[in-house]
Amino acid sequence: MLLKRFLLIILVGSILAGCGQRKLNLLILHTDQQSQWTVGVYGLDDLRGPLTTPNLDALAEDGILFTNFFTNSGVCSPSRALMMTGCYAPRNGVYANDMIMSDIPTLATQLNDAGYTTGYAGKWHLSGMGHPGWEPDGYGWTDNRFMFNSGHYKKITEQEGENPKAHPYKVIGDKKSYTTDWLTNKTLEFIRTNRNTKFAYMVSYPDPHQPWEVREPFNSMFDPADMSIPDSYSQRIDPLTGWHADIVKSHKKLSQSKLQRIKSKYSGSVKLLDYNMGRIIDELKELDLYDKTLIVFTTDHGEYMGEHGMLYKNHFFETAYRLPMIVRIPDGDKEVVNSHIFSMVDFMPGILNLLGIEPNEEVQGRDFSRLLTDENVEWKEEAQIHHALHKGAGLFTPDYYLLLHRTGEHLLFDRKNDPKELYNLYNDPDLQLVIIEMTNRILEHHKLYNTPEWEWLGEL
């Protein structure tokens, strides 16, 4: 169901001021590799097919749906470090997966300082190579008994006197031990235990990231034949750049039938996530906490799922970077769509300000909550993109997406007229002024933060 109210500015200043005075609880519902098209309320029916997400749709209809929220890095660890610190990789220390985050103030440390009881369950991926790595350094998340560093396990069970057991990927749990269900149960336990305190809890589900098997009945819930094939599957990009040809070659065995089988299981994982998020929201209502809690849903990055002939993420197309995000503010406006552009580095300062907490001086991101409170806010509509392997640097604006590649084979897409990114316009003579202006913005950004990309960007 499409939302009906499309607003760019939400005048809820007095409400948000009240949020700070009331010290709302915070609940972050976080997933791994979930594309924006998977959430029904975004209306991307041609990609989603029969998948429905009634609980997330209801949350959006009771709050704010953000349509232009981006991660600055389309891979797990860097995106999560941006989220936790509000700083770019040169400051937070996480350029790629399996790196250890710098010892700087985090979302959790600031919540602790503000008097919150904090907890985290699920995948962390910011404490090095631990796999699963139970109870890693949580950088401030106090109750981290059910936090594991990395892995996408399908079954977790308790072990008396020891950390839980994460079973091999091929072992699929049931409705109690399947990881999504198990983490939901731990979240419910925390909420019940801390219902009389001011709490902040984050549950980070490792689904719908591959491997795509999910417990029944969700594994076979969707018929592969009903799964749509993206229009860009056949690679109608002109010209086909050298580095992109390599990507196509690496996915040459992705037949349409194989893609449909994978997509049916991916959709089943999303369906199970939506079901479990509904369980948590219902519990908040049952405990009279729903109107005392700021609820946020998002993910770390998207999944191509056949777009441009690819699977996974960490390449250069929009689906890996443009994310679903829903924020429900008690007593706030309902059924609102916000189309301002902001990014993962802005997440921490925005959430803290919604809670009435002033972000620390280290923060490099912007306070996106201003988009909800000030109709005259000066806001640069952009999201800067950093590639985990430093191969590319990009910029999203309302009209265009420019990707500069270190090989010199660049991309420019018209976001309004070519949202599926089928036509590379980088060599269009009518757009050279646009390219120059956007290139300068990319160069200024990477020079300012002294990124690894600046080594080759500075030679352009």
Q: What is the pLDDT of residue 106?
A: 98
- The answer on pLDDT for 312 being more than 80 is yes
pTM, to two decimals: 0.94
Q: Hey, what are 127's tokens?
A: 């404490």
What 3-state class would DSSP assign to 10?
A: coil
Question: What confidence tens digit (pLDDT) does each residue in 82-115 have?
Answer: 999 999 999 999 999 999 999 999 999 999 999 9
Phi/psi at 315 (5° precision): -110, -140
Of 52-61, 92-101, 241-250, 299-308, the least confident: 241-250
Q: How many CB atoms lie within 10 A of CB 246?
A: 9
Tokens of 35: 């594309």
Domains of the chain plus CATH, in order, are 5-380 (3.40.720.10), 386-457 (3.30.1120.10)
pLDDT of residue 240: 56
**E-strand spans in 341-399?**
342-343, 383-386, 392-396
- pLDDT classification of 314: cutoffs 50, 70, 90: confident
**C-alpha pair distances (Å), 308 with each of 233, 234, 305, 419:** 5, 7, 9, 13
- What percent of the chain shows pLDDT beyond 70? 92
Predicted confidence band at 383 (pLDDT cuts at 50, 70, 90)?
very high
Digit-coded pLDDT (tens) for 139-153: 999 999 999 999 999
User: With pLDDT > 90 as the criterion, what percentage of the chain qualifies?
Assistant: 84
For 432, residues 6+ apart whose C-beta sits below 8 A from its C-beta are none
Estimate the share of the chain in helix, then strand, then coil, as percent rounded to the nearest 5: 35, 20, 45
> Which runs of consecutive H residues, i.e. helices, occur in 363-428?
370-373
For residues 16 and 372, the answer to whether their CB atoms sit within 8 Å is yes
